[in-house]
Amino acid sequence: MSERPLTAVVLAAGEGTRMRSTRPKPLHRLCGRPMVLHVLDALAELPLARVVVVVGHRGEWVTKTLVEHAPPHVDIVFVEQLEQRGTGDAMVVALGGLPDEDERGSEGDVVVLPGDTPLLRPATLAALVRHHRSTDAAATLLTAVVDDPTGYGRVVRGRDDAVARVVEHGDATDAEREVREVNTSIYCFRRSVLAPALRRLRPVNAQGEYYLTDVIGVLHDAGHRVVSLAVDDTMEVAGVNDRAQLAVAEAELRDRINERWMRRGVTMWDPERTYIDADAELAPDATLLPGVILQGACRVGEHAEIGPNCHLVDTVVGDAAVVSSTVARRAEIGAGALVGPFVSLVPGEAVPPGARRGPGHAAASGPGGPVGSAGWDGGTLAR
């Protein structure tokens, strides 16, 4: 990366009416984490001076969530878009949260991305910034070529195949709607040209809003260089606007999570029937049988075997423990313990190392609650 200052803006002010929920759209969960946190994950490979998050609908809820759960090393500043007047207006609001320009600040760059693209990979965003700087562009769009571009803004090119403007679907002509290259609403701008371009926006469109996409045409018409970078995997830039799209994104993210753990030495008998949240941690040589759900911050030790048909929430499973047909919430299962089938562990319950819990092996009472088992004989399994 160049040494020029780099900041980021996450646009998370939308109400998300199609979600039909009182929960703000950026806070809907995928694999146990709010969607906007997955968006922040995409910034992981960038040397950012600051991240500005634009909030709006129920903004205090979004702010509280990020303050509590965002990575501690990320410098986040929150700004509020009081009236929903479009992405261009949201970007104007965001400029107030960027660091003051100094001798180098005006030559810096700003990455902009929406708060509803949770599948974007860090490597893709880093490639966008590298391409932006290597081409010395005023603006760089991340684009995608899709089979069905309905609903997306079309990328219109001019002479020498340069990006000339982006036309939203509702404002496009019939010819423009035939274009299959679409805007992903993910950009990198040279900061020095962004504010002047935003001042020239006008709400002359079907929605009567200030479109950030119109900045592309403003910069092109002013003679600035505007380029694009096409994403290889279009799933990365899929937006989440309703519950159906949320389910599609969840399935994609779960596939990624399962593949990552299998490559780290975890065995899964049936990945399609194995559900692991993003905050779970698994040790090598753990085995997951079909029907396993690891929800929240579960921890699974080496050589542990879980399943079939287990639902564990924020639960610790020790090394070499065997757990089958069990439901547990905020419980702890000791190393070498044998739990199940048909066992339910309540919050705070602990099964000691080597203990056995299941039919015919009821929990024994101990300090702090049910901690023993009728089959426990000081650490060996009574089989």
End-to-end CA distance of the chain: 60
Confidence band of 306 (pLDDT split at 50, 70, 90): very high
- Hey, what domains does the chain have and what are their CATH numbers? 6-237 (3.90.550.10), 264-370 (2.160.10.10)
pLDDT the model gives residue 368: 41
Q: Strands 33-34, 29-30: parallel, antiparallel or unpaired by DSSP? A: antiparallel
The pLDDT, as a whole number, for residue 51 is 96
Q: Do 113 and 185 meet the contact criterion of CB atoms below 8 Å apart?
A: yes
Which is more confident, 251 or 359? 251
**Would you name the residues annotated as active-site residues?**
18
Q: Which two tokens stand for residue 377?
A: 């004989």
pLDDT at 204: 82
* Interacting residues of 116 by C-beta distance below 8 A, sequence separation 6+: 14, 16, 25, 26, 35, 39, 239, 240, 241
pLDDT at 206 (0 to 100): 77
For residue 106, what pLDDT is reported?
A: 60
DSSP result, 28-67:
-EETTEEHHHHHHHTTTTS--SEEEEEE-TTHHHHHHHHH
| Model confidence, pTM | 0.87
Task: Please give the pLDDT value at position 362.
Answer: 63
Which whole-number Å values give the CA distances from 281 to 29, 86, 298, 310, 332, in the listed order?
18, 40, 6, 16, 14
d(CA 376, CA 359): 14
pLDDT at 72: 83
List pLDDT tens digits, range 334-347: 999 999 999 999 99
14 versus 236: the higher-pLDDT residue is 236
pLDDT higher at 85 or 362:
85
- The predicted structure's pLDDT at residue 12: 94
Two tokens, residue 127: 């490639």
The token pair at 304 is 């542990």
Whose CA is closest to 128, among 194, 189, 50, 179? 189
pLDDT in tens, 168-216: 898 899 999 999 999 999 999 999 999 999 999 998 877 888 999 999 9
Q: What is the pLDDT of residue 39?
A: 95
Q: Which of 61-70, 79-88, 105-114 has the lowest mean pLDDT?
A: 105-114
Average pLDDT value for residue range 227-251:
95
Query: Does position 298 have pLDDT exceeding 60, yes or no?
Result: yes
Mean pLDDT of all residues in 253-277: 98
pLDDT score recorded for residue 107: 76
Q: Name which residue leads in pLDDT, 107 or 230.
A: 230
- What's the pLDDT score for residue 192? 93
72 C-beta neighbours (distance < 10 Å), count: 4
Q: What is the pLDDT of residues 314-335, one digit of tens each?
A: 999 999 999 999 999 999 999 9
Average pLDDT over residues 74-97: 93
Q: What is the pLDDT of residues 125-176, one digit of tens each?
A: 999 999 999 999 999 999 999 999 998 999 999 888 889 999 989 889 999 9
* pLDDT above 90: percentage of residues in the chain: 79
